[in-house]
Each structure stands twice: as structure tokens, then as C-alpha cells.
Amino acid sequence: MSHNHPSESTVLGYSRTRLLRILVGFPAVGLGIGFLLPPLARWFDGSATGPLRRLFEALGGLEQPWQIALCALVATLLGLLAAYVAVADSARTTVTGAALTIEPRDGKKATSLARADVAAVYLDGRDLVVLDAHGRELSRSPRQASRHALSQALRTHGYPWQESRPALAAQEQSRTPVSASVA
């Protein structure tokens, strides 16, 4: 993330540390799980029932070093795949005083939203959500930056950051019954 003056742009994405954690951590966890699966499967084998019993029997039967190494390799590759999906399924965000631009990494077209069209910005789980004045979603995309970095950048550039989904006046009015006038 780059911190800039409000008249300049702020680009929010994965920090190098976080990207390294994802690209190295996911495969490393996969490797560890791959080595631990056969002994864990042998331990759970007696308590497994139904279709899981066959899976535990198959995994528990891996006793040769080459079989355990193959299991670890497959789990490492699954970790690499998970890391790729985590990085590819996120969007880089560029914030200026005039526009908010969201660039997905999955090859989809970037979305640029004029500051005047943005009534609220908040996080819904992993997703960065941008609403207009009527409460309609202008954008929803997985984020790369932390909650703190997003809130700081958006507030610095004058965007209406919300800690959660805002209650909209239009929704509240529709819930309030209109009293009939008695003549």
C-alpha cells in the first residue's frame, strides 16, 4: 500500500509480507498435512464409519516412504492451487479524491466509480462493498488490503467508510407504516 496526499492516488493490494505468507504458507501447510495424513488416518480408522471408513483405510494403508512422499506432494500441489486461487480471486483498489477503481486479478474489466456516486463503502466478510445513495451495490469484490488500510485510505480521500452495512433511510421509511389521516 502507498500512503499519499489526498490529491494523489493510494494503491491498496497485498503487502509483500502477506503475499509471501500466502504463496509459501499454503503449500507448506499442504506439505505438513500430506505427511501427517497417513498416520492420522490409521489412528482414526477404527472410529470411521460409512464412506469415510474406506478413505481412512486407503490413506492409512500408505506406509512406504514413496507413498507418504506422494501424498505430501499431492497435498503441496493442492496448497499451491489454493494460494493461486486466493491471489487470483482478489482485487487491487486504487483510491483518489475523484474515483475509486477496483481491478480484479482474474482478468475481468476494472471498475471505476466516481466519488459522487459512492454513498457508502464497507467490508462484508472478505468483500469490499460499494453502495450508491439508494443502497444498491455498485461493486462487490474480494479485497487484498487489510480492513485498517482500506478504512484509512478511503477516509483520507473523503469516502464514506462504514464499519458495517449502513442502515438506509429508504429502507427505514418503507418499514414505518404511514398513518392515515382521519377526517
If asked whether residues 96 and 162 sit together in one domain, one would say yes
Q: Do residues 100 and 62 both lie within one domain?
A: no
Q: State residue 26 phi and psi, 5-degree precision.
A: -60, -50
Residue 160's closest CA among 133, 127, 125, 182?
133
Q: Does residue 70 share a domain with residue 27? A: yes
The mean pLDDT value of the chain amounts to 82
Per-residue pLDDT, averaged over 164-173, amounts to 61
The verdict on 56 and 78 lying in the same domain is: yes
Domain finish residue from 53, 88, 123: 88
Q: What is the pLDDT of residue 168?
A: 58
User: What pLDDT, on the 0 to 100 scale, is given for residue 45?
Assistant: 66
In a domain, 110, yes or no: yes
Residue with the bigger pLDDT between 113 and 92: it is 113
Share of the chain above pLDDT 70, in %: 85
CA angle 19-120-112, nearest 5°?
A: 60
